[in-house]
Structure 1
Amino acid sequence: MQFRSLSLVNFRVYYGRQTIDLSNFNKNQKNITLIGGLNGTGKTSILTAIRLLLYGIDKVGKRELAGSINNKHFEEKGKNSVLELEFTFNQKNYKIKGTLHYNSKQELTTMEREMVLDNKKINLTEAELQGFINRNIPSDVSTFFLFDGEKVQELVDQQENGDLKDSIQEIVSLEFYKKVSMDINKAQKKLERKFSRRVSSEKIQDLSKQIEEKEEDLGQYEKDLEAVNKNYRIVRERLESEKQAKNEKFIKSSTSKKTLYENKSKIVREIDNINSMIEAYATDHLPLLILYPKIQQVKDRMEKEMEYSRKKEEIKLNFSQFEEFMNDFIERMNERDELQGIDYKLLNELGRKSWAKVNNLKRYKEPEEIEIIHDLNRSDQSKLQSLNFKELDINKQQKRKDQLLQDLKKVDQQLIIAPEEVDVSKEEKEIERLNKTLSQYNSESLHYREKVNGIHTELTRLRRKLEEMRKELDTNTDLDKQLDMINKAAKVSAQFVEDVTEFKAKCIKESFEYIIDKLMSKSDDFSKAEFDVDSYKLRLFNHYGNQIRLANRSAGEKQIIALSLIWALTKNAAIDLPYVIDTPLGRLDSIHRRHLIKHYFSELSNQVIILSTDTEVNDELLSELETNIGSTFSLDYSSDTKSTTINEGYFV
């Protein structure tokens, strides 16, 4: 699948129609589309729009979509937002259009979706359209290719309770092989029942009845397990919605009166500290502060004099033998009266040049004469030079104080219109209740899994016994031959699924450990990460080889681990998916950011869409990523129109 374009019409901060052309992602092997926007300019809205179009309201949640119609459009009596996603799949061109309807309170009431194939509308019901999407890119798989970089670490927490195993197997197409095996098992059961009705042996009939009862129990437990897992996913989505609501309230509460008073107190305390520091400087160092310019002039002059003296001393030392030679030479020549009319100054100058050349002396010219006015001994010179006025420089502190006074003025202005403190106790109680419900569902899921596994073991034993009894009867009928063939097919398919599962797990393990070694910086308490092929879980180890808890790692480390898992799944997936990543580098330090830029995005997939702030992908990282960028866009927000327009170029 490859995204070709996304249009947002009167959706959130996008007024009118705004379109992003995504068709240049693979031009000249450049797989990245970089979309830049400051916080609040609509980056997350792009991710939400794609989720809505592919999976409908249930995947996003009505609560999150409340007020998602553009305000200006709503003021103009508009009641709808429209989203359109064009993509290619199996060499065919598709477009999904979604129309969102709102009531008078800006609450989302319904959403209608329609699909277009090669510019022709396909008459599909909502269930049929969703069925098409789920068959090709199931909802659970979307976690791995449509994600918020700052929340992707939640994958690490989910994998600890085994919740990700089914999704992982789904993205690498193990579910397909399992379905084939299940179809063979259904045919096997049908033939076994037919066989038991034809034979007269009471033992066989009794054994067949036991198998049939076990199969009924198995079917019921599998339904119970599926229902519990479904409820678990629903509750988990509700939990995420409640957490989002709580976070939104916290964001609002950042401007509440209580928070602003706390901020004001911090600013006032820092101003007082700076005033105390300035006063201490004035008290302890006032004479030096007054004399600072004169002392600096003395230091500068003294440095020049010292440099002049040093050069004079160096020249004197290098030419001492030459001076002795010249004095002796001139004295001898004068005795013979043979230097009449000779320019002694020129002779000395030419001699010095020859001496400098023979002795490889680079500096032999006398320095420009200056007057030595500071006749200080070495001890006094050292004391004067060691005076450090940086610690007495209060300009920096004064600038900080000026900035704090401006901040204090802004806080006072905000206090006039600020709301009271936001109460999140309701959300916290609901989050606590949902967590308890999740824990309960998790326990029930483990219980039903144990039952299902136990029945599978018992059925295997009973079928083996039935096959032995059937061979003893030696009926040699067509039905017997069919049953023999289906039994062999069942064994082969079960072994095949087991072998493919093991092979895929090993491939995931290899890919995961390859990329995390490039991305993750080793620390004192972290040495190795690996993917367990039996449990489909991630393991971390310290330098002593002891396993350490993933839950205790930092958000940045969890993000790197989760991105490495996504990489491993991508390299072993059955379909090529486009990746949309919102805020991919927000929680990471500079080292891990550079690792991702260098090793990750350029090779993740054929199409990678990055939604970034200017501080994440800055000029330095942009230059490193540039060779893989096919196109760039900026989300430019206007405070006048209170809306965002999409323009070409990255923060132009």
Structure 2
Amino acid sequence: MILQKIELNNFGSYKDYNAFNLNTSDPGKKIVIIGGKNGAGKTTLFVAVELALYGHYCFGYKNSGKRYTKKIMTYINDQAKMDEDENAYVAIEFSDSTNGDLDQYRIVRSWSWKKGEPKEDFQVVKNGYHLADQDLADFQIFLLHLIPPALLKLCFFDGERIAEYLLDDQKNNVRDALMVLSGNDTFDIMYSNVRKVLTSSSSEEDDITREYLQSKSTLKRLRQTRDRLADEIAELQAQQDEKNADIERLKKEYSDQGGISLDEWKTLNTQLKEEEERRERINWERKATAAEILPFIIVGPLLDQVRPQIAREHEFKTWKAISESIQTDRFKNAVVSSVDKAGAPDAERLGSILYDDIIKFLLPANGWADFVPLFGLSDDDEMRVQAVLNRVSQFEIKKIAGYRKRLDKSLKKSQEIREKLQNSSVENYQEYTDAISKITKEIYDLSLQSQSKQTELTACEEDIIAAEKELETAYKKLEMDIKRRSVSAISSKVLLLLEDLQVIIFDRLIREVREDTLTEFNRLIRKRKFIDDIQIDNEFRVHLLRKQIVEKKDLIKICRRSGIAGIQRSLRKYAFSQLSELIGNPDERNFGKELESCHLNEFELMMEIDKDTLSKGETQVFVMSLYWAMMQQCKCELPFIIDTPFARIDTDHRANIVEQFFKRLPGQLFVLSTNEEIGSKHMLALHDQTSNIFLLEYGDDKCTHIMNNQYFEV
């Protein structure tokens, strides 16, 4: 399908007749760039194309009733709306070769509003011939088949909203679109019809089939209940985390406002008293120094003469004691007697000589006879004086300044404590503790609710195991019963075949889309190894995975505190499955034991990234990668209209998207851009594939004007 012309008459800000002529002589040029500032009419053009093709389906209405016509009137040009003789329309000309032959179509959807009553008219021209009224309904079905509603959001790509559409876990948008794109939606229709036949059958032989369908329905319901309970448990845990954060916030606010506990108040007063006692001790030391040491330091040089004087007086005392002991007749007689005993002749004379020599040796003539002691200290007094001298000599002068510093430090600390006491208060302590107690109780209540939900979840998982066994039994019974059944048996067999075929189709689709998405994302994203894998589950929900080292000791703590359920919540599906495999896939009862006995101290696991934590730009790059991968499954060539292409995308990624996304997207591409999105570099990169360029300007007449082959001054 190739769009060749778009016409708007009195539609939105497009007053009177306006046209986009899209014909090109080069079929290889498939990109149409339409620039316009915000409010210039790009989104109006976007809606006009949708509306021309789909009518009331464009807005999600089941019919073209009053709600639809009321909606249409909001799009009629305000100036034209004042004249009841005016009309408005949107028209599209396109070619299509879906049925083998190249057909030319012109669609015109117009409105008039005589007497304020809006009326719609729909006309189709095929290969130059107007279709009759009875053929228009078939043509509308043809259009819905050509671009089914499941593809509407993909072909008409709103950059601001595409992420919400593709990543909505509550809807199967990705699944539905993929099935249509790949041409496999027929199997869904067949499966649905067969189910209706079998479910509505009242014959006894269909009981087995109904039992199988009922078992499958029960299992689906239980799995949905399990997922709901898991989400509720996660939500309760998140609420507990918020409450804990509230407690920390209250503590901080109470602290910032000077609030302290009674124990802290007592501690501050105790510290203040200790500082006062410390200063008393310092002052006592300072006074002692002033009394016992400072006088000696003041006399300075005089003190240096004391030790030599004491030493001389000590020597004098020694000399005097010796003198008094040997300068006696008794000692002299003893010396003479000793000489005589030695048998020396003339002992008296020799003894006198020896005595005189002893006197000269022991008592030399050094002036001690005239020496007069200054202090006259006793031995005890001398020891006390020496002790004082030692203390004085060992005393460091800087200690005197140290006393001052220690006092200043203590005074400063006391001042800080007093200021803290002055700025602190226990006045609101009771109110603070009451608030903390209230939140703590709320956390406890949430914990009880979480435990209750966990009990329900455990019971539900047990029911799922039982239901899976029942489904397996029903499946086997159905297989056996098929052998003896006629029409219903054939339907049952078709049902089973379609289910098996769906599994094969789903597996292939999921594998190819997963691989293409990962490849395209790594091609577009600036960060290397931002994600390591992508998984798409059976419900076609997309999961982003990144390798992460997880310590075994942390897992053991979680397991001991919250059991295997806590690990499942922390690791989530894929990482938990990987961990279970690494430790031997133990059952729930032995999981903790096998984890602790595992020889590994850490595990490299594929942890799921919460898509809500991605930046808006990263989310948009990922969505465009998923979009591109899905388009690879398309079995026909469709036009794409992309409004706000670079929503939330930074400069570096824009260049990648131009090269790797726009230029490689199959089919005709319309890019509706503001002056802040597609710039000169992008225009140059797209030049070889650009067929048409238009610039929309919103004039002073409050109307949109189309400038052919013009663009912003980039």
TM-score under structure 2 length normalisation: 0.50
1:495 aligns with 2:500: yes
Equivalents in 2 of 1:642, 1:43: separation in Å? 12
- Measured after TM superposition, the shift of residue 579 of structure 1 is 0.4
Bigger Rg, structure 1 or 2: 2
Match of 2:430 in 1: none
- Measured after TM superposition, the shift of residue 134 of structure 1 is 2.1
Match of 1:112 in 2: 121
- Measured after TM superposition, the shift of residue 626 of structure 1 is 1.0
RMSD: 3.9
- Measured after TM superposition, the shift of residue 631 of structure 1 is 1.7
Equivalents in 2 of 1:185, 1:453: separation in Å? 24
Equivalents in 1 of 2:680, 2:93: separation in Å? 31
1:515 aligns with 2:524: no
Letter in 2 for 1:177: F
1:560 aligns with 2:621: yes
CA contact (8 A) 1:152 1:562 kept: yes
Match of 1:92 in 2: 103
Match of 1:123 in 2: 132
CA contact (8 A) 1:502 1:533 kept: no
Letter in 1 for 2:516: S
Equivalents in 1 of 2:111, 2:467: separation in Å? 47
- Measured after TM superposition, the shift of residue 555 of structure 1 is 2.2
CA contact (8 A) 1:7 1:85 kept: yes
Equivalents in 1 of 2:539, 2:213: separation in Å? 26
CA contact (8 A) 1:519 1:560 kept: yes
User: Cα deviation per residue 1:219-240 (whole Å; 9 max; x = unaligned)?
Assistant: 9999xxxxxxxxxxxxxxxxxx
Unaligned runs of 5+ in 1: 197-204, 223-450
Match of 1:7 in 2: 7
Alignment of 1:333-482 (within 5 A): 461-462=473-474, 464-465=476-477, 468=480
- 1:454/1:608 Cα in 2 relative to 1: closer, same or farther (>3 Å)? farther
- Measured after TM superposition, the shift of residue 596 of structure 1 is 0.7
- Measured after TM superposition, the shift of residue 39 of structure 1 is 1.9
CA contact (8 A) 2:208 2:477 kept: no
CA contact (8 A) 2:30 2:667 kept: yes
- 1:218/1:119 Cα in 2 relative to 1: closer, same or farther (>3 Å)? farther
Equivalents in 1 of 2:482, 2:44: separation in Å? 64
CA contact (8 A) 2:32 2:670 kept: yes
Letter in 2 for 1:116: V
Letter in 2 for 1:97: V
* 3-state DSSP of counterpart to 2:677: coil
* 3-state DSSP of counterpart to 2:76: coil
- Measured after TM superposition, the shift of residue 187 of structure 1 is 7.2
Equivalents in 2 of 1:185, 1:627: separation in Å? 51
Match of 1:506 in 2: 511
- Measured after TM superposition, the shift of residue 568 of structure 1 is 0.9
- 1:163/1:487 Cα in 2 relative to 1: closer, same or farther (>3 Å)? closer
Match of 2:338 in 1: none
- Measured after TM superposition, the shift of residue 58 of structure 1 is 4.8
* 3-state DSSP of counterpart to 1:622: helix
- 1:147/1:114 Cα in 2 relative to 1: closer, same or farther (>3 Å)? same
CA contact (8 A) 1:47 1:147 kept: no
Letter in 1 for 2:534: E
Equivalents in 1 of 2:211, 2:497: separation in Å? 25
- 1:70/1:611 Cα in 2 relative to 1: closer, same or farther (>3 Å)? same
- 1:214/1:489 Cα in 2 relative to 1: closer, same or farther (>3 Å)? closer
Match of 1:21 in 2: 21
Alignment of 1:137-286 (within 5 A): 137-159=147-169, 162-182=172-192, 205=204, 208-209=206-207, 211=209
Equivalents in 2 of 1:127, 1:221: separation in Å? 41
- 1:134/1:469 Cα in 2 relative to 1: closer, same or farther (>3 Å)? closer
Q: How many residues are aligned here?
A: 401
1:532 aligns with 2:536: yes
- Percent identity, aligned pairs only, is 22
User: Cα deviation per residue 1:131-185 (whole Å; 9 max; x = unaligned)?
Assistant: 3322232212111110222222222441465554333333322221233345566
- Measured after TM superposition, the shift of residue 628 of structure 1 is 1.6
* 3-state DSSP of counterpart to 1:153: helix
Match of 2:81 in 1: 74
Match of 1:645 in 2: 706
1:596 aligns with 2:657: yes
- 1:122/1:585 Cα in 2 relative to 1: closer, same or farther (>3 Å)? same
- Measured after TM superposition, the shift of residue 534 of structure 1 is 2.9
- 1:69/1:215 Cα in 2 relative to 1: closer, same or farther (>3 Å)? same
User: Cα deviation per residue 1:104-137 (whole Å; 9 max; x = unaligned)?
Assistant: 77xx844332322212222346755543322232
Match of 2:307 in 1: none
Letter in 2 for 1:99: S
Equivalents in 1 of 2:467, 2:189: separation in Å? 19
Equivalents in 2 of 1:569, 1:452: separation in Å? 33
* 3-state DSSP of counterpart to 2:120: strand
- 1:157/1:463 Cα in 2 relative to 1: closer, same or farther (>3 Å)? closer
Equivalents in 2 of 1:470, 1:634: separation in Å? 65
- 1:183/1:104 Cα in 2 relative to 1: closer, same or farther (>3 Å)? closer
Match of 1:348 in 2: none
CA contact (8 A) 2:32 2:669 kept: yes
Letter in 1 for 2:697: D
- 1:535/1:215 Cα in 2 relative to 1: closer, same or farther (>3 Å)? closer
- Measured after TM superposition, the shift of residue 74 of structure 1 is 3.2
CA contact (8 A) 1:102 1:110 kept: yes
Letter in 1 for 2:91: E
1:57 aligns with 2:56: yes
TM-score under structure 1 length normalisation: 0.54
Match of 2:417 in 1: none
- 1:77/1:485 Cα in 2 relative to 1: closer, same or farther (>3 Å)? closer
Letter in 2 for 1:504: L
Equivalents in 1 of 2:690, 2:468: separation in Å? 51
CA contact (8 A) 2:219 2:467 kept: no
CA contact (8 A) 2:105 2:124 kept: yes
* 3-state DSSP of counterpart to 2:526: coil
Equivalents in 1 of 2:107, 2:627: separation in Å? 26
Equivalents in 2 of 1:104, 1:456: separation in Å? 64
CA contact (8 A) 2:482 2:489 kept: no
User: Cα deviation per residue 1:202-245 (whole Å; 9 max; x = unaligned)?
Assistant: xxx4x6446458769999999xxxxxxxxxxxxxxxxxxxxxxx
Equivalents in 2 of 1:29, 1:505: separation in Å? 31
Deviates more, 1:65-74 or 1:565-574: 65-74
- 1:582/1:468 Cα in 2 relative to 1: closer, same or farther (>3 Å)? closer
User: Cα deviation per residue 1:51-89 (whole Å; 9 max; x = unaligned)?
Assistant: 111222353375765542223333455543100011222
- 1:182/1:66 Cα in 2 relative to 1: closer, same or farther (>3 Å)? closer
Match of 2:29 in 1: 30
Equivalents in 2 of 1:466, 1:151: separation in Å? 45
Match of 1:346 in 2: none
Equivalents in 1 of 2:663, 2:140: separation in Å? 31
CA contact (8 A) 1:33 1:608 kept: yes
Letter in 2 for 1:145: C
Equivalents in 2 of 1:538, 1:122: separation in Å? 44
CA contact (8 A) 1:188 1:490 kept: no
Equivalents in 2 of 1:208, 1:152: separation in Å? 44
Greater RCO (Cα-Cα under 8 Å, separation 6 or more): 1
- Measured after TM superposition, the shift of residue 638 of structure 1 is 2.7
- Measured after TM superposition, the shift of residue 45 of structure 1 is 0.9
- 1:637/1:595 Cα in 2 relative to 1: closer, same or farther (>3 Å)? same
- 1:602/1:88 Cα in 2 relative to 1: closer, same or farther (>3 Å)? same
Equivalents in 2 of 1:462, 1:588: separation in Å? 52
CA contact (8 A) 2:84 2:114 kept: no
Equivalents in 2 of 1:549, 1:219: separation in Å? 30
Match of 1:392 in 2: none
Unaligned runs of 5+ in 2: 61-67, 221-462, 549-605
Equivalents in 2 of 1:15, 1:209: separation in Å? 65
CA contact (8 A) 1:634 1:646 kept: yes
Letter in 2 for 1:560: V
Match of 1:609 in 2: 670
